[in-house]
Amino acid sequence: MLRRTLIGASATFGLAAPALAQPRHNAAPANRAQPRQPPAPSAPPANSPIGPVDTIARNVVLIDFETGATLLSKGGDERMPPASMSKLMTMYVVFEYIKAGRIRADQLMHVSDNAWRMGGSRMFLERASSVSVDDLSRGVIIQSGNDACVTLAEGISGSERAFVDVMQTMAGNIGLTSSTFRNATGWPDPEHRMTPRDLATLARRVILDHPESYRLYGERSFRWNNITQENRNPMLGRVNGADGLKTGHTEEAGYCLTASVKRGDRRLILVVGGLPTMRARQEESERLVEWGFREFDNVVLFRAADTIDQVPVYLGDSATVPLVGGREVVATVPRGWRETLEAKIHFDAPVPAPVVKGQELGRLDISGRGVPPMTLPLYAGADVDRLGVVSRIPAVIARMIGGGT
C-alpha cells in the first residue's frame, strides 16, 4: 500500500494550492454578533475538533450536511428518549409511501376511536371523521399531533403496531443503527430510543430524499377544526436560514430539537436533547448553530476531474492511470486553521491491467489539527487496456529482473 502525504497548500501530487484557500460556497454571512453566554453547565462540555464547548444540553450532535463532518458531539451515540422527534421517522415512512404510489396526498383516512383518544399534543381531530394524508401530515409536522400520527399509522398499516414494524425496517434501510421504535408518536416507552446521530442521519435523509415534502417543516402555522397552532420549532423566524425540523418534550427527555439551518449553499443539522426549559432549548440551539457557522467553513480540495495522483499500471497499454475523486471533494475545516490540513493518499501499486474508468483504486484520508476526519474513495480516471502477449514479454522480464513477483 503506497501512501502520499499532502500537507496544507502543497501542490505536490496534484493538490492545487489555490483550492485550499477558497471557501466552498459564497454563503450568506453568519451572524457575527457575540453569542449569549450559556448558563454554567452542570455536566461535561461537548467535544469538537477545535476543543471543548460548554453546553447545558444533555445530548448534542452538530454536523455539516454536505461533508458529514461532526462539528460537535456530546452523548452523540447515546440512546435517549427522542420524544416527538421520532415523528421524523413516522413522516419519512409516509413520504416514502407517497413517493412509491402506495398512498396519495389527497387520500382520506379514518380517525379511529383509538386515535381520537390520544393524549399529549393533538391536531384535535374529530372522532370517526375522514382527513386527507396532506392535512394529517401538517398536523404531525406543525402541530405535533399524536392523534394525526396514529391515524396515519392505522390508515397505512392497519394498526400502529404494524406501522412500527415498517418504521423499524425502513430505519435500518436508511442507516439508523441504534434506533428502536415502539410507537408512532414518541410517547414515553422505556424501549423507544434513538441516538442524536441517528436523528441527524434521519433529518439528512428527509431533506435529500423528499425535498418537496420537506418544505412542510418550514410552515409557520396550521389551522384545523377552527384551532390555529403555531409551529413549535423555536428556530423558525428567529435564526437566519432555519427551515426545519422537529421539537420534542417529555419529562424524561427534557426539551429537545432536531433543527436544520441553511445559509447560501451550506447547511448544518443540529440535534439537542435534555434541556431544562423551552427558553433554554431556543437559546442554546441558536447559540450552537451560530458557533458552527462561525468556526467552520467548507473548502474545495479537488474538482471532479482533477488528477490527484498517477498510479503505476502493470502490463497496461499505459504506464499509469490517473487517480481522481470522481466528484468535487469538499472538506469542513476550522476558519483560520486551513494550513494544518493533511491529506494522505493510499493505494496499491502497480495495479494490474486492465483498469476500468471509475474502478476504485484507493482512498484519501483527510485530517489535521482541528479538522474533522474524512475518508473518501478514489477512482481510476481512465481506461487502461491490457497489453498483447508479445508486448507483455518485456514488461514481465523487466519486473522479474527488478525483483518483482
Q: Which residue has the cell 396532506?
A: 134
Contact 293, 263 (CB under 8 A): yes
Q: Is 104 left (phi over 0), alpha (psi -120 to 50) or beta?
A: beta
Helical (H) or strand (E) element with 392: helix 389-401
* DSSP-assigned states of every residue in 268-331: EEEEEEEESSHHHHHHHHHHHHHHHHHHEEEEEEE-TT-EEEEEEEESBSSSEEEEE-SS-EEE
* Candidate list 84, 112, 179, 260, residue with the active-site label: 84
- Which member of 87, 246, 260, 285 is catalytic? 87
Query: Catalytic residue at 285?
Result: no
Cis peptide before 350 (omega within 30 of 0): yes
Specify the DSSP class assigned to residue 355: B
Polymer length in residues for the chain: 405
Catalytic residue among 48, 73, 137, 144: 144
246 catalytic? Reply is no
Which helix (H) or strand (E) is 163 found in, with range? helix 160-173
| 255 CB-near residues (< 8 Å, 6+ apart) | 247, 248, 249, 274, 275, 276, 277, 278, 280, 281
**144 is a catalytic site residue:** yes
Q: What amino acid positions are annotated as catalytic residues? A: 84, 87, 144
